[in-house]
Amino acid sequence: MAFEREEPKEAVAYFIPGGAIAMIKIPALDAGDTLIYTLRHGLTELNRDKRIGGQSLDVPLLPEGVNQAEEARARFAGTPVDIVISSPLRRAVHTAEIVTGWSREAIILDALCMERSFGRLDGFTRPQVEAQYPEVRYLEIGHIGYSLNPPDGEPFPALQARAREFLRGMLGRHRGRRVLVSSHQNFLQQMHGVIREIDPFDALRTDILNLELNLFHLDARDRLRSGHKVQLAPSAARHPSF
């Protein structure tokens, strides 16, 4: 399905059951429905320098990334969340803490939602990859090049299979709740692909910026009812994906 994008605009308050107020439009849930929020972490030195960042380089948020998360927190305030799950990498955990206001101890860490493994390419720029690993092939989508065969890395079909395993387990434990998942670009693209029932390569056609929030409303049988996206920190557009 085509997703609606909620563009930054003048703040509008949405009233939700219980009298709370949210700045983000939240769908009305029927009994047994699940609401999934996915959140990409804030800016790191790897994003800034256009270096590949997978699992082995556990870099923190830059001060600009912290500022992005704080900007996002203001817009996310009042949004109802029952469960927060994060990749164990620092950039994802810290982003979840700032945006949701939940303590690190309250956040569930799950290695299944870590970023894609890029194997020996971690930390490399694309020119460095092309010089040292000329056998690496790329899928070019717009201005972004996706490596298809990183040495010792994770192919996209395997990444989508991991995202499917994560989603299955998450729904098994938290179906009927409002769950936020703080993670990474490539992983979230494939998780979105599982939800939307599209293949691993078509899933790459929808980019995810830093601090982008996606909402998925699933019915009691885990079928997608609706979805939309919100750029919580418009300043993140200064550092596009690569």
Instruction: Provide the pLDDT for residue 4.
Output: 47
Distance of alpha carbon 211 from alpha carbon 236, whole angstroms: 7
Q: What local confidence, expressed as pLDDT, does residue 22 receive?
A: 59
Say whether 165 sits in a helix, a strand or coil: helix
Which residues are CB-neighbours of 212 under 8 A, at least 6 positions away? 39, 40, 229, 230, 231, 232, 236
Domain 32-237 -> CATH class: alpha beta
Angle between helices 185-196 and 156-174 (to 10 degrees): 70
The pTM score is 0.91
Q: One digit per residue, pLDDT tens: the chain, 242 residues?
A: 334 444 433 334 444 444 445 589 999 999 999 999 999 999 999 999 999 999 999 999 999 999 999 999 999 999 999 999 999 999 999 999 999 999 999 999 999 999 999 999 999 999 999 999 999 999 999 999 999 999 999 999 999 999 999 999 999 999 999 999 999 999 999 999 999 999 999 999 999 999 999 999 999 999 999 999 999 999 999 999 99
In the chain, what's the furthest Cα-to-Cα distance? Answer: 58
176: left (phi over 0), alpha (psi -120 to 50) or beta: left
Residue 180: closest CA among 60, 86, 65: 86
Query: What's the count of helices (H) and strands (E) in the chain, helices before strands?
Result: 6, 11
> In this structure, what token pair is assigned to residue 97?
């803490």
According to the model, what pLDDT value does residue 13 have? 43
In degrees and rounded to multiples of 5, residue 130 shows phi and psi of -65, -30
Q: How far is CA 114 from the centre of its chain?
A: 10
pLDDT digits (tens, 9 = 90+) for 130-155: 999 999 999 999 999 999 999 999 99
The C-alpha atoms of residue 213 and residue 191 are separated, in whole angstroms, by 13
Question: Rounded CA gap, 61 and 94, in Å?
Answer: 8
Measured between its terminal Cα atoms, the distance across the chain in Å is 25
> Which burial class, exposed, middle or buried, applies to 68 when counting CB atoms under 10 A from its CB (0-12, 13-18, 19+)?
buried
Distance between CA atoms of 142 and 240, rounded to whole angstroms? 12
